Structure 1
Amino acid sequence: MAAGLTGIWAVRILLLRDRVIAIWALVVSVVFGCWFAFQHDQRQQRTLPEMTNTTVQLRVQPDDVLVGPDSVQVKGRLPTGQLVTGQYYVGEGEKPEPQWRVMKTSVMTVAGDIQQFAPATNVNEFDYGEYQRQNGVFNRVKISRLVAVRPAVPRTLWQSWLNGCHAIRQRLILQTKRLPPLLAMYVQGLFLGFRADNFYDNLSAVTDLGLIHLFSISGFHVVWLTALVAFVLKRLRCSETMVNVILILVLPSYYILAGAAPSLLRAILVSMLVIIAALAGWKISPLTLWGLSLMLALIWYPALLMQLGGQLSYALAFALIFVEGRSAFAKTMLLNLVSLPFVLYHVYQWHIWSLLANLLILPVFSWLIFPVTLIGAVVGLKFPMLAQMCDHLLGWFTRALDAIAAMPGMITFGKPHILLVIALVVLTLLLLAGRHQRQVIIGLTAVYTLAFMLIHFPVKGEVTFFDIGQGDSFMIREPLGRQITMIDTGGDVFFGGHQVKRRSRALRLNINYMKSMGIHRIDALCLSHQDADHVGFVGDVLQTMDVKRLYIPWGMAANPQFMRRIRPGLKHTKLISVHAGQHITGSGLDVLHPFTPGLGGNEDSMVLTGVYGGLRFTFTGDLGQEGEKDVIAHYPNLRTDVLKLGHHGSKTASAPEFIQALKPKWGIISAGRNNRYGHPNPETLATLAQQHVPFFNTQTNGMIRYRFRDHHPGYWETVMKEEKD
């Protein structure tokens, strides 16, 4: 995306046909090219090798230590200068030691393992490691214990100022936690750039309606701050020059206090450039301000345009220059069009009510919600009744957003190809310029339509094995999207102790991938049996996807624990029990097992088989060796090309007789890395070797895809290895 934006800029420079501008552009390009190359080299040098059982010292800021009920997340700097993150989890029934709760910049000595970030192993999965590297963090520490904590002594005036800002921010975050819950969430999000763990759970409508920019501290907040400070200072009879000098000192401090977000960096830089120009008597056009702020931001934060926040911040700021003087409706429409290509590329979906929400809610937010939150933040602790009133008002506002977001209109568009995104950005810029409006609108409509059709009606189908960890989850998508079948959902296995609260892996992995492919409906969801590592995320799938039919093995409907898990999501989904000899409607899958009813144990696993792209696939759930022998006894002529090995490669499955009878050309193992069971077991691997069956393994290959066209043989793709034919 960043390369595409750079290409658009280069084309624009060439079209200007101005030699002076071209020379300056070339100079700037060379300078920034060298700067980015230097940063890339620094990334390689600052990445540490993995080490176990080591002790390190971390210089940490107090607001970079997040202490939870059963864990601690920390970010700090090693004595050599590298930034690292650290994670510490306490034992069952324990709480983090009080020493973790620091109020000033400290040096923590911790014992643990230095690790590198794991790569994303599914297509379109958010790459957390790359995100951290873009932010200058190259390693993480798996902390086993806290050895010592001591105050950090600042060595320079710069360090003293920086430490003071972080200490104030930490105190403010802790103070706001004493406010009523919703008010605290709004205060922290709007003024401190801090989002609690449950932020997106309680304010899901904000993201669904594309209103997250209201909680991203940016130009809107800086304008408020500068106007408020200037108003107070002028009432104190300060001169205009004094006001500007004080603002130049205040704005960098607010950048730290508000969390130092990329979107805030742009706003702070623009405000400071305006003030400096006023003090120097210079006249700077809005476009020049935008360009200068971008160059300064890229020096400070080279990966700015690699992230959605930075892309939206500068794209919308650029658009605001050209929509000045237009009606509120025209402004909202154009700004939504500017942001839409970026949103679709990163988020894959868009709510049709987001346009109306932005048009109606922004004034309410500006003139009511923002002041109410500010009042609640300033006086809420002194006047609890007033804080409760503010909390109730914010509650009404949030429920109104929830009601709008619940209305039909969420479009799962999918992830458009980068070349189409660039075309959309170019056409939208032409629309802003006001030239050839009719032709541009036709072009935009045509490109959006083309992108939608390519995503939703793909020529190729696929059989996808998600890397869901220690569990199973697969998807079959037929060419042109005729039928979508999902087999198992994956799930977390809990063995006691503390559970770490985090976003569901289904929402980050398999559901995320399906949305990136434009998939919002599942024609058939087949659950092999009731184990949590196969069906634990069924609630997420039923809640976020339009599931037509849910298939379960014969007798599992009598399992009350399982039924309690799925019943809340069975609003428009037909529940169907199946046994051997039946078919999964419309999918081409035949049911080979179970033969008798059961409650959904491993021995009751649903076994499915079907032909896709010239290969026969067989999915066996967690069926054990005795069940496998029953299958070949009932179907002595059964053969398969691709066998999903039972029970994640456990020795309790994959009987040698079963493998010999089916004669698979490929085996698929779906298992978690470093799982406690030792899957796949050596016995299973030995059986595959003896039978000369090559295999893919999600542990080493990540997501595995077999892609094919109608009536044509397909090919294999893996995320973590080269393609295999």
Structure 2
Amino acid sequence: MQNAKLLLFSLLVASLGGVIYRPCLSSWIMLLGTLILILWQRHLRFFLMVIVLITPFMIYFFHDARNLKNQAEIPDQKNVQITGVIFPDNVSIDGDNLSSTATLDSGEAVKLYWTLPNKQSKEEWLKQDHVLTFSATGELTRIRSATNFNQFDSQEFYETKNMTHQLTVTTWQVENMVSHDILNGIRYQLHAWHSRAIHDTESLPKPLREYAQALILGVTPQALYGDNPGVQTLGLIHLFSVSGFHVSFLIMMIMALAKRLWITKEITIVLLSGLLIIYFVFAGEPAILIRAIVAGELILWQDLHHHRFKSYDIWAISLLISLIYSP
């Protein structure tokens, strides 16, 4: 482990996050085990560097966990007025029920629910592919925890996404979002294209529709589990989600295509670096893709600069960045 100091540091940061956010026996064992391995190095300079470098992570985790706790303590409110933003690829419609993830102007994320009043409204929402701003009146309540043994715990699940409350909309006004910032405009357009692609796949026959949404667009429809009960029974859910495999496949496909088109390796790497970021946003910005994207970027740039990263260093760097993005 003498040459894996960065890996040890990343594991220490990850286990520290586990103790802060989900304190349990396994997270404490991992933290203590990693500390023992670091002390086993008998390298005073490395130990002092760990203390210095882990401090900002500790402050960040404690600050984020405290904000999440304060957010969870917000009391239930009726007839509350809230404004925020909805991305079209987060909207889901089941019958006359609309649900989505919304980001409030205060920066908090909530789960949003609304009952569609008529068929015309439903058809309009099914065609909606723009980023929306809304001003709503409704009931803001804490997301409920599981009430039965072994029941899915929605409260705990949504807390991992920094969501503690849900908003049941009574009335609201919705309009298309207009951004005057170039980067935000590109981001909104990518989400709009993602939503449009999801709508387009609805015309595909089963099970191709579910496969296309899950494996290409990063959306897992409930019909996939309903029509394929063995997916959950056999624990194969991870095979039907966008992951590092897709990033690797995309890199290999573009590299092979560029080679056939006689595009230089340097230009291909630069284009691919930007394309990976675009793909991340297009796929809905899922935290699960962060490690794969960062690892892909590092592998590309090491080829460009002829500097080889060790595999566990790439893994460690991608883990640290993913913890910053979604602690």
TM-score bracket, shorter-length normalisation: 0.7 to 0.9
Output the CA distance in 1 between the equivalents of 2:95 and 2:120. 6
Q: Partners of 1:121 and 1:35 in 2: how far apart?
A: 32
Deviates further, 6-15 or 77-86: 6-15
Give the secondary-structure state (helix, strand or coil) at the position aligned to 1:144.
strand
Is the 1:84–1:141 contact (alpha carbons within 8 Å) kept by the matching residues of 2? yes
2:307 is matched with which residue? 282
Alignment RMSD (CA, Å): 2.2
1:186 pairs with 2:186: no
Cα deviation per residue 1:291-339 (whole Å; 9 max; x = unaligned)? 111111100110xxxxxxxxxxxxxxxxxxxxxxxxxxxxxxxxxxxxx
Task: Show the counterpart of 1:367.
Answer: none
Give the equivalent residue in structure 1 for 2:248: 223
Aligned to 1:9, which of 34, 41, 44? 34
Identity of aligned residues (%): 25
2:326 to 281, 301, 326: 301
Amino acid at match of 1:212: I
Q: Could you say which residue in structure 1 is the equivalent of 2:262?
A: 237
Query: Does the CA contact (< 8 Å) of 2:133 and 2:175 recur in 1?
Result: yes
Asked if residue 65 in structure 1 is aligned to residue 91 in structure 2, the reply is yes
Corresponding residue for residue 378 of structure 1: none
Structure 2 counterpart of 1:112, from 109, 126, 138: 138
CA distance in 2, matches of 1:73, 1:254: 25
- Specify which of 234, 237, 242 is matched with residue 209 of structure 1: 234
Cα distance in 2 for partners of 1:3, 1:277 equals 35
| Alpha-carbon distance, 1:204 to partner | 2.0
> 1 CA distance for matches of 2:157 and 2:241?
18
TM-score of the aligned structures, taking structure 2 as reference length: 0.84
Q: Which has the larger radius of gyration?
A: 1
With over 3 angstroms needed to count, the CA separation of the structure-2 counterparts of 1:274 and 1:152, relative to structure 1, is same
Shift of 1:68: 2.3
Per-residue CA deviation, residues 197-225 of structure 1 (Å, 9 max, x unaligned), is: 22212222122223222213222111111
> 1:405-453 CA deviation, whole Å, 9 max, x = no partner?
xxxxxxxxxxxxxxxxxxxxxxxxxxxxxxxxxxxxxxxxxxxxxxxxx
1:631-642 matched pairs, under 5 angstroms: none
Higher helix share: 2
Residue 192 of structure 2 corresponds to residue 167 of structure 1: yes
Q: CA deviation at 1:95?
A: 7.0
Q: Distance in 2 between matches of 1:56 and 1:128?
A: 22
Between the aligned partners of 1:263 and 1:285, the Cα distance in structure 2 is 22
The verdict on how the C-alpha distance between 1:2 and 1:251 changes in structure 2, with shifts beyond 3 A counting, is farther
3-state DSSP class of the match of 1:180? coil
Aligned length, in residue pairs: 300
1:659-698 equivalences in 2 (<5 Å): none
Paired with 2:205 and 2:27, the residues of 1 have a C-alpha distance of 41
**Distance in 2 between the 1:168 and 1:292 partners?**
31
**SS at 1:63's partner residue?**
helix
1:38-87 deviation digits (Å, cap 9, x = unpaired): 11122244454322123322311110111222210011111222111111
* Match of residue 14 from structure 2: none
What is the match of residue 109 of structure 2? 83
Q: 1:258-337 maps to which residues of 2 (within 5 A)?
A: 258-302=283-327
Instruction: Spell out, residue by residue over 1:97-130, the C-alpha distance to the aligned partner (whole angstroms, 9 max, x if none).
Output: 4443421111123331111222333455432122
Please tell me whether the aligned partners of residues 104 and 167 of structure 1 are also in contact (alpha carbons under 8 angstroms): yes
Which deviations, in whole Å up to 9, do the C-alpha atoms of 1:236-294 show, x marking residues without a partner? 32211111111111111211222433332211111112223333332210011111111
Q: Say yes or no: does 1:256 pair with 2:281.
A: yes
Distance 1:158 1:9, change over 3 A: farther
Counterparts of 1:471-486 in structure 2, within 5 Å, are none
Which residue pairs with 2:80 in the alignment? 54
1:559-603 alpha-carbon deviations (Å, 9 max, x no partner): xxxxxxxxxxxxxxxxxxxxxxxxxxxxxxxxxxxxxxxxxxxxx
Distance between the aligned counterparts of 2:151 and 2:306, measured in 1?
49
**Pairing of 1:491-506 with structure 2 (within 5 A):** none
Aligned to 1:490: none
Q: Does 1:103 align with 2:126?
A: no
Whole-Å separation in 2 of the counterparts to 1:259 and 1:240: 29
Matches within 5 A, 1:498-647: none
Contact 1:69 1:96 in 2 (8 A): no
Q: How far has the Cα of 1:177 moved from its partner?
A: 1.2
CA distance in 2, matches of 1:18, 1:74: 50
Query: Which residue number in structure 1 is paired with residue 202 of structure 2?
Result: 177
TM-score normalised to the size of structure 1? 0.39
Does the aligned pair in 2 maintain the 1:70–1:95 contact within 8 Å? no
Deviations 1:648-707 (A, max 9, x none): xxxxxxxxxxxxxxxxxxxxxxxxxxxxxxxxxxxxxxxxxxxxxxxxxxxxxxxxxxxx
Per the alignment, do residues 150 and 83 of structure 1 end up closer, same or farther by CA in structure 2, a change over 3 Å counting? same
State how far apart, in whole Å, the 1-side matches of 2:321 and 2:114 are.
Answer: 36
Alignment correspondent of 2:52: 27
Residues 139-162 of structure 1, C-alpha deviation per residue, up to 9 Å, x if partnerless?
2101123x3221111142221121
Match of 2:153 in 1: 127
- Corresponding residue for 2:11? none
Counterpart residue type for residue 259 of structure 2: K
| 1:501-521 Cα deviation digits (max 9, x unpaired) | xxxxxxxxxxxxxxxxxxxxx
Unaligned 5+ segments in structure 1 are 303-725
SS at match of 1:170: helix
Partner of 1:449: none
* Higher RCO (Cα < 8 Å, 6 or more apart): 2
The runs of 5 or more residues in structure 2 that have no matched partner are 1-25
Q: Secondary structure at the match of 1:181?
A: coil
CA distance in 1, matches of 2:109, 2:288: 22
**2:52 & 2:68 partners in 1: Cα distance?**
24
Q: How does 1:360-509 map to 2 (within 5 A)?
A: none
- CA gap of 1:96–1:130, structure 2 versus 1, over 3 A, is farther
Any idea what the Cα deviations from partners look like across 1:705-724, whole Å, max 9, x if unmatched? Answer: xxxxxxxxxxxxxxxxxxxx
Report the secondary structure of 1:57's partner residue: strand
Please give the alpha-carbon distance, in whole angstroms, between the structure 1 residues aligned to 2:238 and 2:94. Answer: 27
Q: Secondary structure at the match of 2:146?
A: coil
d(CA) in 2 for partners of 1:230, 1:278 = 12
